[in-house]
Amino acid sequence: MLSFLRSATLPHQFESLPDREEVMPVTNKHYVNGHPILRPFDSHLETAVFGLGCFWGAEKKFWEFDGVFTTATGYAGGDTKNPNYEDVCSGLSGHAEVVLVIFDPTKVSYSTLLSLFWESHNPTQGMRQGNDQGSQYRSVIYTYGDEQLNLAMESKITFEQNLKSAGYGGITTEIMPAAEFYYAEDYHQQYLAKNPGGYCGLGGTGVRCA
């Protein structure tokens, strides 16, 4: 990832960067599977949003998973409207790097996606993930509806027990109802498919999520 000033804390709302009026232009075609990445999606599909560090490797984890229709990288959880990458990396927009996951619930359950999320990174590290430091790398789950929120909270309790049994600390993952998802720049979309040798800082703990 590129190097910018990074913040280890979230800004107060009055400290956030000003909104941007222009919506980020992106190509509405997944580089790997050819599916659209922009809303609206077919009504039988469901939405999930996860942040687990650098979104390049995180997105690949999900697009490779059976039952996932499409994915996109983006920004969520902050105050600035329509942020760009530099805004997010400054720590002053308040957003996390996240992955939008559109999935078919008849093929993969939300609980299964939660297990993939927990096992693919270390959710005990606060405002960092491995060597990537800053509030944009924090672990997050942004939920759609009460069922997703309840399942996310229940899975956190279970996985935290497993982590503590393995010698890790408490989970720092931010879990809350989803706010606005903002698409990242086109070059971030399916980055590791376009750049197979590109950086991926994703790494789990080796602890399984029941």
- Confirm if 130 and 53 have CB atoms less than 8 A apart: yes
* CA pair distance 13, 36, nearest whole angstrom: 33
Catalytic one among 54, 89, 200, 209?
54
Question: What contacts 43, CB < 8 A, 6 or more positions away?
Answer: none
Structure tokens at 170: 């408490």
Helix ranges restricted to H, 110-198? 110-119, 146-165, 191-194
Looking up tokens 């606060």 gives 126
Residue 54 is among the residues annotated as catalytic for this protein = yes
Closest CA to 97 of 64, 134, 126, 54: 54
- Confirm if 156 and 117 have CB atoms less than 8 A apart: no
* CA pair distance 24, 61, nearest whole angstrom: 24
147: Cα separation from own chain's centroid: 19
* CA pair distance 69, 57, nearest whole angstrom: 17
Instruction: Give catalytic residues, as residue numbers.
Output: 54
